[in-house]
Structure 1
C-alpha cells in the first residue's frame, strides 16, 4: 500500500481547517442529511484509541420531548452558573452570551465513554484508566474536524449535570457522559471564537503555555 502524499498545499488547507473549526451556537434551519451524519460518525471512528478499545458510544437524540428537557436542564444549569459569578458586570456579560443551540440545531448527539469495553483487552489503561475518556475526546475532535470540512458546525454543550443527562437518555450504567453536541450548518461561519468576538476571552499566545525542563 502506498501512503498518500500530503503536499504543502494540503498542509495549508489543514491549517485553515483547524483555524475555521469553531464552537457553533447559532445554526441555520438547513437539515443535515442522513448520508452526511453517517459520514461524520464513520470519520469519528477513525480516531486513535487506547489499545484500539474504541470506547466511544454515540446517542442521537431524535425525540422532541427529550430535546426540550435537555434544553430546559441546560438553561437551568446556566442560570445557576451565573448566580455564582461574584462580579456583577461579568455576570451580566455571561447572561448575554448564547451558550447552546440545543433547540435550533438540526442534530443533537450525546457522546459517552464505555468505561469497561470488551475491545482492547485492557491494553494501555492499567495505570491510566482515564485514557478511555481521552480516546473518546479524540473521537469528538475527529468528528469536529470532519464536520467543518463539510461546512457543518458543532457546538459542545458543557453547562449541564452529566448524571441528569445520562438518566434522561437511559443508557448503560457503565457509560460516562463526555459531551452533548449540537450539529448543523452555521448561521454565520467565522474563524474567530465566538467568545472572543463577544469580548469574553481572547486567545492568548501559545508561547505563554509552553515550558521547558
Structure 2
C-alpha cells in the first residue's frame, strides 16, 4: 500500500467526481451559499499553473442586467455558429447551449496577459497560460460536482464584446462563461451524446506508444 495514497473511500470519491462531471445546461435556480462559493473558488485557485503565474481572473456576475446582456451575446454567437454549420444548422439550434438565466451563479473566467513577467514555461509554449486556466476551471468543476452542484462551460460569445461589457483592461481576455448552481439531475452521459450530436471516442483510439499513431 502506497503510504501517500488516500483511503479507498476517498479515492472512490475522486474518481466518481471525475466520472460524473457533466457540462450542465439545465439548472433548477436556487442559490449557492456564499461560504460554499468561496470554497469552490478557492479550489479553482489551487490549480497548478506554469511558473506559478496564476493567470486566471474570475468575474462574478451579480447584476441581472449584465446577465441579460451576456445572454444576448451568447445568442448572437449561437446564430452565427448555426449559419457556419450549414446542413446541421437546424439540428444545432435545437440544442440547449447555456443556462445563463437559470443558474444560481454566473462567472466569467478570463486570462490576464503575463507575457512580460511570466516567461517560465511560455517561451516555447505560450498557450500554457490557457492550460493553467483550464486546470482552474476543471478544479472548480470537480469540486462543484462533489458538492452536488452543476457547472456548464459556455464558449459561444465574442471575446472582445464580452471584455468591453465587463470593462476588462487591455491584455485581458474572457475564455469562459461559467453557469453554476443546483440542478434537478445530472445527465447520465454527456448531453451531446444524449442529443445524438456526437459520440465520445474510447481512450484506446487516442493512446499511442512511442510514435504518433502506433497503438500500444
Q: How far apart, in 1, do the equivalents of 2:84 and 2:42 lie?
A: 40
What is the match of residue 110 of structure 1? Answer: 108
Of 153, 177, 186, which aligns to 2:183?
186
Shift of 1:158: 0.7
Alignment CA distance shift 1:121-1:72 (3 Å): closer
Structure 2 unaligned runs (5+)? 212-216
Q: How far apart, in 2, do the equivalents of 1:191 and 1:16 lie?
A: 13
Shift of 1:106: 1.2
Alignment CA distance shift 1:53-1:143 (3 Å): same
Cα deviations by residue, 1:80-103 (Å, 9 ceiling, x for unpaired) = 11122221xx32221111100111
Q: How far apart, in 2, do the equivalents of 1:82 and 1:190 lie?
A: 24
2:34 is the alignment partner of 1:34: yes
What is the match of residue 54 of structure 1? Answer: 54
What SS does the corresponding residue of 1:100 show, helix, strand or coil?
coil
Alpha carbons 1:137, 1:178 under 8 Å: kept = no
What is the match of residue 198 of structure 1? Answer: 195
Cα deviations by residue, 1:19-53 (Å, 9 ceiling, x for unpaired) = 11000010012111111110011111110001111
What SS does the corresponding residue of 1:192 show, helix, strand or coil?
coil
What is the match of residue 65 of structure 1? Answer: 65
Q: How far apart, in 2, do the equivalents of 1:106 and 1:39 lie?
A: 16
Of 153, 156, 160, which aligns to 1:156?
153
Q: How far apart, in 2, do the equivalents of 1:75 and 1:7 lie?
A: 46
The alignment's C-alpha RMSD in Å is 1.7
Q: How far apart, in 2, do the equivalents of 1:152 and 1:176 lie?
A: 26
Alpha carbons 2:53, 2:114 under 8 Å: kept = no
Q: How far apart, in 2, do the equivalents of 1:91 and 1:125 lie?
A: 38
Alpha carbons 1:109, 1:182 under 8 Å: kept = yes
Alpha carbons 1:154, 1:181 under 8 Å: kept = yes
Structure 1 unaligned runs (5+)? none
Alpha carbons 1:21, 1:191 under 8 Å: kept = no
Shift of 1:117: 7.4
Where in structure 2 are the equivalents of 1:81-92 lying within 5 Å? 81-87=81-87, 90-92=88-90
What SS does the corresponding residue of 1:182 show, helix, strand or coil?
strand
Alpha carbons 1:53, 1:117 under 8 Å: kept = no
Q: How far apart, in 2, do the equivalents of 1:162 and 1:115 lie?
A: 14
Aligned length in residues:
208
Alpha carbons 1:55, 1:117 under 8 Å: kept = no
Cα deviations by residue, 1:112-155 (Å, 9 ceiling, x for unpaired) = 1111278x753222222221111111101111111111011110
What is the match of residue 96 of structure 1? Answer: 94
